[in-house]
Amino acid sequence: MKIIKVISIIIQFILYGSAITLGIIWLFNIEVCFDPEAATFLLLTIVTPLLSYLVKKYSDIIAIEKFSTANALAYGYINNFIEPVLTELIKKSKKPVIYIYLPQTIDELYPKNVERIKANFIEKYGNIGTRSIKINEGRGARDLMTIASLGEDCFFDIPNTLLTLKPLIDYQVISPKNDLTDIEKEKLGVKYIDVFKQEILKLLSRKQLDKNIILIDKDFKIE
């Protein structure tokens, strides 16, 4: 994206520089082999807006492609895990709820950090258990965290699938390791998580599962 921005600035500089040059030629009536007034008009009203539009359009396409991995992860997470699990839970209970923990940064999902998240759960709500949900789609069973004090229909999950974004983020931020690089990686990770979250919300709404799924973060509080 930085390269696209630089190219865009260069193109705009060339275009407006050309417009100024043509304006000077026209203003001082310098003899040239073309009509400077017409050329200036075409440059400012057609060529410049068209090129600006194309650069922006290409930038938007690059941005969409850049975050398509997060969308794909959200799609797989909901369709291959959450939806089939929730379907089985609904068969046995009218009001199952799955709390999905979304981190603020990718680093929160490393094993030691996940243990601290679980410790936070335990401190607030008591011991954590695990319940295996058998899926009737030929895909075995799936495990969800449970907390007895909140009832047998209350479940938790932490989408570790987001960790697969880490190598992609490292690759996209190509520069020697320093504080600035780490900050850029964290910001990019936050964007990926937000794209993942927004896609999850869309899928849940489309599948009418949003009443049974609640997204939480480290400051969550369950009434």
- Could you report the per-residue pLDDT of 65-79, keeping only the tens digit for each? 456 788 888 988 998
Which carries the bigger pLDDT value, residue 175 or residue 30? 30
Instruction: Specify the pLDDT at position 146.
Output: 87
Dist. CA 100–CA 155, nearest whole Å: 9
Q: Tell me the pTM.
A: 0.67
Domain ranges across the chain:
2-66, 68-216
Dist. CA 208–CA 210, nearest whole Å: 6
Are the CB atoms for 99 and 154 separated by under 8 Å?
A: yes
Q: Closest Cα partner for 79 from 126, 5, 124, 142? A: 142
- Could you report the per-residue pLDDT of 129-150, keeping only the tens digit for each? 888 888 875 567 788 888 878 8
- Could you report the per-residue pLDDT of 88-126, keeping only the tens digit for each? 888 887 789 999 999 988 888 888 888 988 888 888 888
